[in-house]
Amino acid sequence: MNQKRQKQVMDEESPLLLLPPIEKADDEDGASFVGSVFNLSTTIIGAGIMALPAAMRVLGLGLGILAIVFLALLTETSLEILIRFSRVGKAGTYGELMRYAFGSVGRWVFQICVLVNNFGILVVYMIIIGDVLSGTSSSGVHHSGVLEGWFGEYWWTGRTFILLVATLFVFTPLAFFKRIDSLKYSSALAVALAIVFLVITAGITFIKLFNGSITSPRLLPNVTDFTSAWKLFTATPVLVTAFVCHYNVHTIDNELRDSSQIQQVVRASLALCSSIYILTALFGFLLFGESTLDDVLANFDTDLGIPYSSLLNDIVRLSYALHLMLVFPVIFFSLRFYLDDLLFPSARSMDLDNFRFVLITAGLISSLYVAANFVPSIWDAFQFTGATATVCLGFIFPAAIALRDPQDIATKKDKILSVIMIVLAVSSNVVAIYSNASALFRKDVHSLQ
């Protein structure tokens, strides 16, 4: 989060790709294009990918894949608006741009949204890791974790102890890096592990298709009444969460050796992630159909009906658990920065204050560990963060900045797209919140009967 490099703009009316590069104080120390693509892709590809097959279960493959492509294009539009307005306003962070457009209140609201979004996502990561290693229960059925399958159910294969070990020996060491570019190699490995998961899942699916043991997938949603129609909107927060990376774009831009490449970085990352998302959603839903769980990794605890099923199950789950462990510090980086910026707005850089750096890092890590042991499932976490803070960061705030247009540079196209983004985001997520609240209420009523 080095903010010393300010944006230099020669022509404020020019499109983003024509903007001159940011002046770097130490050009040789800047991040490379490939490293930046990996870091942004790692920000995008996280826990959301594991809920995409469940979203296909709700929407059907046809509508679900169209929704992924649509949100990828909408994300590119919102990022282009965000970075272009940041260039002209010489804002080094998303928060600075919000303050420039809406004053201190805008910056404060933005910081709160980042904290809610990133904290929720990191809790989801830890829940999935707990599901993978120690197991989870869904609808009264227990799905064994990898360590439970290997050694049986003991206190040291339980969620609480497993997450404690992962927190102390994996999350904490990675969380203490002070530059996001230091994570480029772990980010590259994280993307590679996501591809390993995809390749193995695709291979299993093709084998079962060849054997004729997979039925034809449902292409459209199964809408039979008003309730089932409203249920479609419960997938919206999951899809929105899958693409939001806006809080890390300025960090990556500031460290990029040639900042004129930022739009290419964005497009390359979105293309890579969209491809992985579509294929994962496709193969995951094909493989498990209507039995797809909210966290598809939990499905990999049964006999897949192919040779070496148990070994493949373990490889799939462990590879993605390791992927999430490597993604964790990239998301944590922004969480720590914006919490520090909210609590100590006038203090010197956290990089220069080791005591504050350690205190905030340790406090956040401890809070995440406690929360991960109390939140029941990733779907619950996604519904809360995705329908509130995440949609604001990804679509509502960039659109609001374009409509506010503090630099008087917004085009007619910008304003039309911004209105569309806000209407879609607000309407779909209001319905999603209502639908999920109704479902939770019905669940509570049934549990009392």
Residues ≥6 apart with Cβ < 8 Å to 129: 162, 163, 166, 321, 324, 325
Angstrom distance (rounded) from CA 383 to CA 395: 17
Provide the whole-model pTM: 0.76
Using one digit for the tens of pLDDT, what is the confidence trace for 270-324?
Answer: 999 999 899 989 998 888 888 888 778 778 877 888 888 888 888 888 888 888 8
Using one digit for the tens of pLDDT, what is the confidence trace for 129-181?
Answer: 888 888 776 656 666 778 887 888 888 888 889 999 999 998 898 888 877 76
Q: Which of 308, 88, 272 is nearest to 188 (CA)?
A: 272
Q: Which of 428, 432, 434, 425 is nearest to 393 (CA)?
A: 425
Q: What pLDDT is stored for residue 425 in this prediction?
A: 81
392 within 8 A of 111, measured Cβ to Cβ: no
Angstrom distance (rounded) from CA 173 to CA 182: 13
Using one digit for the tens of pLDDT, what is the confidence trace for 335-369?
Answer: 998 899 889 888 888 878 889 999 999 999 999 99
* φ, ψ dihedrals at 221, nearest 5°: -65, 155
Residue 292: CA count within 13 A, CB half-sphere = 28
Q: What pLDDT is stored for residue 112 in this prediction?
A: 92
Alpha-carbon dihedral sign for residues 303, 309, 314, 320? negative
Greatest Cα pair distance in the chain: 68
Angstrom distance (rounded) from CA 359 to CA 33: 33
Please provide the DSSP assignment of 379-397 as one string. Answer: HHHHHHHIIIIIHIIIIIH
Angstrom distance (rounded) from CA 143 to CA 134: 9
Angstrom distance (rounded) from CA 111 to CA 118: 11
Q: What pLDDT is stored for residue 7 in this prediction?
A: 39
Q: Which of 300, 319, 374, 440 is nearest to 127 (CA)?
A: 374
Q: What pLDDT is stored for residue 140 in this prediction?
A: 61
Could you tell me the two tokens for 417? 């797209």
Name the CATH superfamily, with its identifier, for domain 31-448.
Amino acid/polyamine transporter I (1.20.1740.10)
Could you tell me the two tokens for 292? 């797809």
Cβ neighbourhood burial of 260 (10 Å; 0-12, 13-18, 19+):
middle
Could you tell me the two tokens for 270? 């979105």
DSSP code of residue 353: -
Show me where the domains of the chain are located. 31-448
